[in-house]
Structure 1
Amino acid sequence: MPKIDIANIPVDTINMYPDPFHQPIKGRERKRLGNAVGLSQFGVNLTTLKPGTWSSQRHWHRNEDEFIYVLQGEIVLREEHGETVLKPGDAAGWKANSGIGHCLINRTNKDAVYIEVGTRSTIDTVVYSDIDMRLERDKTGGRYLRKTSEPYPPRKA
């Protein structure tokens, strides 16, 4: 098994959410560890949330399991029925199609770092619990849609 040279993995800050939903995610940085060794069945990311940053909009996946493990700092897990503070050594996970919308928020003045692991499903629907948006993904890519199925225009910047 090849050792991953984490220091040389590029930082990914890509966030494809349409306006204005991408704003809280600015400051999320991921190193795609799974990609570095060619994993295809599940993804593994080393993720840093800068102060004030969210991991995502609150969401759940129809076809993908998700798991996180906190390494450094403090993050708030926001779910359907409230918030839970997570510290180093804490973990959380969500089974596919659970309907439990979730996101992580760094409300501190220091970076928070965690590992995220998730299924790599070609076909998935991501439901965003608090906003008028869902992501439909298939073999040709992903499309952000309103609940009416009207597509969001691509973000300009």
Structure 2
Amino acid sequence: MSEAEKPLAIRAADAPARQKPSNYPEPFASRMAGRHKHPLGDLFGLTNFGVNLTRLEPGAETALLHRHSRQDEFVYVLEGAPTLVTDTGEIDLQPGMCSGFKAGGLAHHIVNRSDRPAVILEIGDRRPGDSGEYPKDDLVAALGSDGAWIFTRKDGTPY
């Protein structure tokens, strides 16, 4: 997209949803049903960090429980009452609450256990050489040189 084609500003809720609902291989991709990501940073050509407006239907989750090796992440709750799940505990969130995750820190994800949709803003850097660890699943992710995630089992075999 050329500079002339990029918008100067948009209403975030009007941003197009991600074309592919999940990058995870099966059987993990289907666990992302009810998650709708709207990449906001990409619309403006941002390359150093990503921003997603993410809507979680009841029962949906942002991602598998994970931690990044190099990427810091930040989330801000706009609507609803999702639950932050980490490898050390859980906390119920409300609009206006936020949380951050340093690279290599707590494994985390957000689950919507309520009966109403939840909307969050997710922000993360795009540091080269990042990898993802999934403590509860037989999955490892490595960020390829092309920016695409490469998923394998923990023993290194491909999906």
Q: Does 1:127 align with 2:133?
A: yes
Where does residue 155 of structure 1 map in the other structure?
none
1:17 pairs, out of 3, 14, 24, with 24
Where does residue 119 of structure 2 map in the other structure?
113
For these two proteins, the number of residue pairs brought into alignment is 151
For 1:76 and 1:7, the matched residues in 2 are separated by 22
For 2:17 and 2:60, the matched residues in 1 are separated by 16
Q: Does 1:66 align with 2:73?
A: yes
Cα shift readout 1:76-118 (whole Å, capped 9, x = no counterpart): 11101111101101000101122x1101000111110010000
Which region of structure 1 is more displaced relative to structure 2, 135-144 or 30-39?
Answer: 135-144
**CA distance 1:7–1:75, shift in 2 (3 Å):** closer
CA displacement at 1:72 relative to structure 2? 0.2
Q: Secondary structure at the match of 1:67?
A: strand
Where does residue 89 of structure 1 map in the other structure?
96
TM-score, structure 1 as length reference = 0.90
TM-score, structure 2 as length reference = 0.89
**CA distance 1:108–1:116, shift in 2 (3 Å):** same
1:77 pairs, out of 34, 59, 84, with 84
Gaps of 5+ in 2: 1-6
Gaps of 5+ in 1: 153-157
How large is the RMSD of aligned CA atoms in angstroms?
Answer: 1.5
More strand by share: 1
For 2:143 and 2:47, the matched residues in 1 are separated by 16
Q: Show structure 1 runs of 4+ deviating over 4 A.
A: none
Where does residue 142 of structure 2 map in the other structure?
136
Identity %: 36
Q: Does 1:149 align with 2:156?
A: yes
**CA distance 1:8–1:81, shift in 2 (3 Å):** closer
